[in-house]
């Protein structure tokens, strides 16, 4: 990194992130510090600001923080003064604080309207008011005001007052998140009162992260870890691992595996009848395709489900019928997932009525799919994930016309159990 801001002082409002991970203010504060600036940050939540500060200091940068409500004139005045006192001046002012309240003119209350304007605009007015005199004295300075795309064009959602999404603009997820599935798995473990868990994890970032999350939450809710093994992706022989599990006193086996690894594991676990003595489950391990590849050893495995042909709504019934007519089988999980995502996207595109990729992206980011084959789904603009219910099920014996081994939905998790708020 080049030290382009060496010797400069930057003040970033809203420097803490409102949830886990990064936010604009946090990122800016850290980046400026990396480029050599001395940073002063403020946030209405002091803990969030302190977290940013610790990151900067860990990297060897200079940062000080204040708790501050940027809608209060005297607090803003004190904020600017403190920055100048500590660092000797102020060269860069970043007015980053911003918020949104969903709703059009009719739905939104006057109170909310005023709140948003105070937080978004008045704060900028106040900060500039108090910073500019110092900047004039220095003979230099810059003020950066962070705005939003919604201020430039229609985002499709009624935001009379508005917010700034993070993350890649062009990437969306319509199906389950691994997070959702891990939560369902955790809930299942607790329902089944499993006390000792043995985990088999694929040596792959997503599965490792998933297991870490599960481990943390499982242990904090009282479960113990009987053992954990990491196997390479595409591992062909689990017999040693299966042996270890069989010898342990675990009552549950958590599989953080993907693809053919699941088939291999279950086939080989089935040879020692592992599922008779231990409950085998995983966030996303079972579907008809997998069960067909494994055989009877798959019976009793529990897993999150990304789609199932038995989901009972009009759209799915229509889809399943059409699929059966064309292919003579029930749609497998992958087919349903793909159809769901693609049809949502294409319908959204058609509704915009124009050939404008940016408009499509905006429309999609704020779309609500009433008639998805999995029920209602709402795309969350903030993290580009679809808000949806979660399905959890078990591999069971099927009666014709279902395949010999099929999934049965045993639980439907509502959205609020599976998603955390996407505050900005």
Partner 1 sequence: MSTIVIGLSLGMLLFLLAAGLTLIFGMLGVINFAHGAIYMLGAYVSFEVGKQTGSFLMGVIAAITITGVLGAAVEKLSLRPLYERPHFYQLILTFGLILVLSDVVRYIWGSGYQEVSIPPLWNGTVDMLGSTIPVYRLFVIGLGVVVSTLLYLFLEKSTFGMLVRAASSDAEMVRILGLPVGTIRMAVFSIGCALSGLAGAIAAPLFPVELGMATNTIIDCFIVVILGGLGNIRGAIAASLMVGMVRALGYVYMPSWVDILTFSLLILTLLTRPQGLFFRAARSA
Partner 2 sequence: MKLSKFDILFGLCLAFIGLLLPFSNPRETLIQLITLAAIWSIFAIGFDFVFGSLGMISFGHATFLGVGGYALSLATQKYGLPFMAGVGLAIFLGAVFALLFSFFALRVSGIFFALVTLALSQLVFILADSKLRSFTGGSDGILGVERPSLLGIDFFDPINFYWFVLAIYTLVMLAVISLRSSPFGRVIAAIRNNEIRADQLGFNVNRYKQITFVISGALSGLAGALLASLLMYMNPQMLHWTTSGDVIIMTLLGGSGTLWGATVGVIAFEFLKEWLSSWTEYWYGVLGMIFILVTIFVPRGIVGELERMYSTRQKRLDLRQRRAK
Contact residues toward partner 2 (CB under 8 A) are 1-2, 203-206, 232-233
CB atoms within 10 A of CB 91: 20
> CA 363, CA 381: separation in Å to the nearest integer?
10
State in angstroms the smallest separation of the CB of 242 from partner 1: 9
Using alpha carbons, select from 233, 241, 230 the residue that is nearest to residue 274: 241
Please state the closest distance from residue 215 (CB atom) to partner 1, in A: 16
Q: Would strands 368-372 and 9-13 be described as parallel, antiparallel, or unpaired?
A: unpaired
Residue 72 burial by CB count (10 A; 0-12/13-18/19+): exposed, middle or buried?
middle
Q: Taking the complex as a whole, how short is the minimal distance between the CB of residue 35 and partner 2, in angstroms? A: 11
Which option in partner 1, partner 2, none does residue 244 bind, with CB closer than 5 to 8 A by kind?
A: partner 1
The partner in contact with residue 1, picked from partner 1, partner 2, none with C-beta cut-offs of 5 to 8 angstroms by kind, is partner 2
Element (H, E) at 375: strand 375-379
Shorter beta-carbon distance to partner 2: residue 206 or 322? 206
Are the beta carbons of 164 and 28 closer than 8 angstroms? no
Which of 166/282 has CB closer to partner 1?
Answer: 282
Q: How far is CA 271 from CA 254, 255, 290, 400, in A?
A: 18, 17, 17, 27
170 catalytic per annotation: yes
Minimum CB separation of residue 171 from partner 2 in Å reads: 10
**Pick 233 or 329: Cβ nearer partner 2:** 233
Is the Cβ of residue 247 or residue 326 nearer to partner 1 in the bound state? Answer: 247
- Contact, 262 vs 282, CB < 8 A? yes
- Angle among Cα 92, 96, 98 to the nearest 5 degrees reads 160
Minimum distance from CB of 259 to partner 2 (Å)?
Answer: 11
Residues near 228 by beta carbon (within 8 Å), at least 6 away in sequence: 198, 199, 200, 201, 211, 215
162, 170, 307, 339: the catalytic one is 170
User: Please, which residues bridge with residue 408 across strands?
Assistant: 394
Interacting residues toward partner 1 by CB under 8 A = 203, 229-232, 234-241, 243-244, 246-247, 260, 263-264, 267-268, 271-273, 289-290, 292-296
Per-residue b or e along 17-48, where b marks 16 or more CB atoms closer than 10 Å to that residue's CB: bbeeeebbbbbbbbbbbbbbbbbbbbbbeeeb
Binding partner of residue 271 among partner 1, partner 2, none, CB cut-off 5 to 8 Å per kind: partner 1
Toward partner 2, which CB reaches closer, 47 or 171?
Answer: 171
Shortest distance in whole angstroms from residue 267 CB to partner 1: 6
CB nearer partner 1, residue 120 or residue 303: 303
Look at residue 292 and give the partner it binds from partner 1, partner 2, none, a contact being a CB closer than 5 to 8 Å depending on partner kind. Answer: partner 1
205 makes contact, choosing from partner 2, partner 1, none, with CB < 5 to 8 Å by partner type, with partner 2
Which of partner 1, partner 2, none binds 243 (CB below 5-8 Å, type-dependent)? partner 1
Q: Which of 96, 71, 68 is nearest to 80 (CA)?
A: 68
Catalytic residues: 170
């Amino acid at each position: 990194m080049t030290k382009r801001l060496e010797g400069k002082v930057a003040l970033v409002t809203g420097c803490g992130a409102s949830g886990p991970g990064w936010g604009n203010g946090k990122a800016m504060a850290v980046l400026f510090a990396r480029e050599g600036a001395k940073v002063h940050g403020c946030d209405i939540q002091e803990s969030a600001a302190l977290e940013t500060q610790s990151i900067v200091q860990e990297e060897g940068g200079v940062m000080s923080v204040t708790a501050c409500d940027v809608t209060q004139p005297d607090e803003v005045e004190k904020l600017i003064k403190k920055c100048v006192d500590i660092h000797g001046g102020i060269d860069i002012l970043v007015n980053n604080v911003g918020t949104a309240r969903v709703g059009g003119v009719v739905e939104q209350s006057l109170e909310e309207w005023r709140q948003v304007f105070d937080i978004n605009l008045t704060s900028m007015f106040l900060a500039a008011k108090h910073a500019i005199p110092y900047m004039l004295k220095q003979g230099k300075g810059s003020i950066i005001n962070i705005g939003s795309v919604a201020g430039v064009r229609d985002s499709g959602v009624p935001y009379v007052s508005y917010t700034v999404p993070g993350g890649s603009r062009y990437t969306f997820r319509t199906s389950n998140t691994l997070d959702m599935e891990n939560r369902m798995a955790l809930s299942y473990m607790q329902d089944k009162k499993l006390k000792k868990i043995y985990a088999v994890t694929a040596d792959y970032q997503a599965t490792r992260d998933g297991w870490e999350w599960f481990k943390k939450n499982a242990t904090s809710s009282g479960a113990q870890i009987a053992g954990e093994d990491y196997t390479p992706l595409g591992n062909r022989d689990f017999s040693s691992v299966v042996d270890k599990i069989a010898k342990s006193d675990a009552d549950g086996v958590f599989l953080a595996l993907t693809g053919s690894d699941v088939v291999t594991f279950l086939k080989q676990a089935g040879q020692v009848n592992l599922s008779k003595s231990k409950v085998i489950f995983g966030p996303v391990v079972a579907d008809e395709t997998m069960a067909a590849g494994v055989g009877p050893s798959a019976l009793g495995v529990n897993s999150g489900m990304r789609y199932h042909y038995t989901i009972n709504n009009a759209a799915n019934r229509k889809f399943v019928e059409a699929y059966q007519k064309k292919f003579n089988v029930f749609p497998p999980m992958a087919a349903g997932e793909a159809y769901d995502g693609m049809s949502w996207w294409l319908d959204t595109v058609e509704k915009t009525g124009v050939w404008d990729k940016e408009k499509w992206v905006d429309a999609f980011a704020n779309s609500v799919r009433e008639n998805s084959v999995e029920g209602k789904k709402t795309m969350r603009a903030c993290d580009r994930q679809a808000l949806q219910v979660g399905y959890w099920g078990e591999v069971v014996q099927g009666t014709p016309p279902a395949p010999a081994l099929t999934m049965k939905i045993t639980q439907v998790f509502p959205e609020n159990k599976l998603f955390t708020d996407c505050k900005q």
